[in-house]
Structure 1
Amino acid sequence: MESIDSMLQSCINAIDELASDNDVLEYLTDTQSSKSIKVTRKLYLVYTSFSKQGNIHVIRAADSEGISTYNIPETYRNSLFQNWGVFRKANQSKEVVIHSSFRENLLNRISIILAKAVYDFDGARVGYVVMDLPRETISNVVSRYLDMYHTEIMLINKFNTVVFNSEGTDAEGLGKLSLKENIDTVWASNSMSGFLHEDDYCYSKSSFADYMILCKVSDDVINMSVRFLKESSIFILWIVTVLSLVFAYVISRSISAPIRDLTKSMKEVENGNFLTKVTVKSKDEIGELGRAFNRMTSRIDELIRNVKEKQETLRVLEVNALALQMNPHFLYNTLDLIKWNAKLGKNKEVSEIAVQFGKLLRQIINNRNEFVTVGYELDLISAYVDIQKKRHEQLEVKYELEEGITDKYIPKLMLQPLVENAIVHGMENKIGSGKISISAYRKEGYLIFTVTDDGCGMTEEQLRTVRNLKSEGMYRIGLSNIERRAKMYGDESCGLTINSVEGEGTTIILQLKEIREGDANV
């Protein structure tokens, strides 16, 4: 009922303002006062602010005269009016009082009276400020609630007079309030609103004046309240459900997200990435698990780097040892050639071989690089073949090289031992001319070298023995050495493939991993 409260409060504020006005006080105090024009102007200002809905009167107690926005009812002018109705109640209170309605004959309307007694500075009562508020003004406000709730609404003052009743004027006035509960206990309580259980009324007391609004709780109101509570409960339940789902999602995310990150990092470690780390944002058990995982991966990465460094050191040492192993093998075969030429008395050939061998030896010894170009290796082969032609005069070497392959890098002394074996062991017992074919090409990241001779070849038993590549005897030292170094610099697919047919010749295929120039120790 905020609209009724707001309207009555405006009326009460206007009456209080007029009652405390100095011009009004002077007019009420002095019957000869010249303030009547000013007072009249102020009354009409208030009257206009209320859309001219309620007449306002200022009445002197001394002679019952006054000023009004319309006409002062004759009842107010009666010399006995000060002891009647609203005026008697106003005499008993320092505040604005609200009294029952009365019919204004001139306007033929029923009005509700609001009045306040005015006192001079000595405390003597000098008059009244009265407002006649048309009953229909309140009725218009109440009708909106009546159309909505189909109930009964009453306005009562502290004297339990029914000032307004939506049921009609017959239910208004003193003695028209019939309740089972004692309404005086409601006035005496500190509660500003509540429920009269025995009468099915709810009440709301004004905080600024002595009146109360009673509203009968009808079935429509109950049904509407139940419907509102039901709809509100459903809405609240929906909100709570949504919030619960959101809260559950946030909680699950706070738990599952770190676990997913940890699982993802574990898969990275499984794939060999030991540098992966988990972002730790919490200090709970999952956070501690993430920190432990980070410590573990850091430790594993450190151990792997140490192992790799040690393996690299061992690899370099082993490669150097294998390379050193090749030099005496090469020296032995060359010196063996010089020996046989010396036994045959070929001093000139021995001298030429020694000169050629010295040049070749200086070239090998002076080059300390781990890797050399294919072209460099072919130059060694060419020099070695020139030495061997002193023994095998009808020896012929043919080259089939892919364009650009001579610039590729390979480990040192990988091809020369193959040609050496083809000459020493393939051509040793061959009568007449001998041919050696050397081919080289690239294939899917690998370098393929083929050395084929048309020498005496090998039997099946000899071929099986040679394919074992055991370091037994000078013949197999070179092949075993090449096989091991090919795998160390490449992978398991690298190495030698040996095919031979007795009486037709031997073919050795060497597969090496292609080495980029930036990775070669040149």
Structure 2
Amino acid sequence: MKQKLKTLSLFDSIYTKFLVQLVLLTFIPIALISILFSFNMYQGEKDRRYELNNQVNTSVVNNINVNLEFTSRITQSLLSSNELNTFLKNPYSVEADYDNYIASIQSYVKAAIQSDSRSDIFIYMENSSIPMSMDVFYHLDDIRHVAAISDFLDSDAIDLWLCGDDFSDTSDPYLFPVSDRFIYLRKAYDYKKSFLGILVFSIPEKYFLSFDAQEEGTLISKGHSRIINLSGDTLDGAFLSDMLAKNESCFQLESYLAAKETLPNFPFTIITVTKRTNYGQLLLLFVFILVSFACFSLILCLRNLKKLVSQMDDCLTAMDISIHNNYTTRIPVKGNNEISHICERINLLLNQAALLSEQNIRKETSNKETRLIALQHQINPHFIYNTMEVFSSKMKLYGHYEESDAMVAFANIFRYNISTNDALVTVAEELRQMHNYLNIQKLRYTNISLIEDINPALLFALIPKFTFQPIIENAISHGLTSKEQPLTLTVSASVTDDFLSVSILDNGIGMLPRQLANLKKTLASTEEISTDGHSVGLKNINTRLILYFGESSHLTIESRHEKYTKVSFRIPYTQKVLSS
């Protein structure tokens, strides 16, 4: 039997192991170091950009706080004047108030306005009897209809910061300037908490949003958000909307870095935007070049290794072919290196293996032929002896034609044994031989019956000659306790996976577990068959099956005491070729 060759898995390959080791020890460390270095440089550049954004935001916030404090001082200064409060509260009379207005109120308000050069200051009076003057005093009713003013007046807030976008839908000649300005509204009350009107500061946004930075930027207004664009790019509306939706103080959006600042007492959000430099792209290029160089080195290293492994694979393939061809082919020798020298020595081994194989085949063939001839002829004397004994006993008791029929059956059996030298016969021929044998045995045992459970297509299947009769003989000899006991024999055959399975079942007395174990031990024994003992027929069949078809084809015996005995075997399925 040919030994199955062990196949080489992918992970057992020298090439694979070398590749894995090279990648683990060289390529991966280089890649990891490069990635770590690039990430650190990338993160450092990102942190510097965030720091720039925070510096700009800090500068703007400081400016805003200064302006808020200054506006608060001017507001307190105006509202702290009792004369102004009295003037705004009481009904206006030209005779009584004009001189006071010219002498003190006008001078006081002008001084306050001049102290704040950034702002346009307006006083919208609740008292409509006072005439408008100085481009400072206006009637509140003239702007009360403006939505932002109306909402402020209806609210509980004392003051409020607004921007030009809050007045985008309003156009009124009495309205203070709103374009590119922050608007501060403050309600005015006297000491009795009587409402006098509102103070309005209209301050250009540039005073709030000036900053010190290394880069020039543009200012983008969007609602209550002011975006300082230091990227140099034009930011579209969709991008600005996505950026305003972010809640983080520092975040990255696409290739831009942004820092957001919100003041508790100033309802506007300051966002500084910078663009990342192409430094990251340079790092990626550096990593790409480094990885490419490592890959190129790896390919050069693996090329020679692959050539070596390929020569070894060719050598192994040639060895497999030679083994499967019974060592008739040789390994081609190429070049003059270590592999070629190995091939030469393997060829010498193949020559010796071929010689030894041929010698072993001759010995085994001779031994098989000798044993088969001995086994084939061993049964005949034993059978003839038993048959003649039956005839002798029967003919003494009866003088009828049954003996004649039995003699005919015996002649058929004898002829079957000596008529052909074929080792394999058809199932149909074995069945006919079985019927001849049973015709003889029925002279002694009249209650024997036979059931054939065989597909007609299997009648031409080939099995070893003289297989059924010894099994039937063993069933009759050891399965019956008396001549009158009924005995039913069932012969079955089927084909599964190109193997023919045959079984003979009898309903005799069966065997005890100890007897069954001894019988199996006898069949498994490698000792020569002895003519003594009652299992010579089964031992003979088992030995011939193994000689013909190998160790996997042997007798299998099942038995239960006083129930049944079943003898089975399994051989490769072949059919007799019928001549036309």
Give TM-score, length-normalised by structure 1. Answer: 0.47
Structure ID, larger Rg: 1
Between the two structures, name the one with larger relative contact order (CA 8 Å, sep ≥ 6).
2
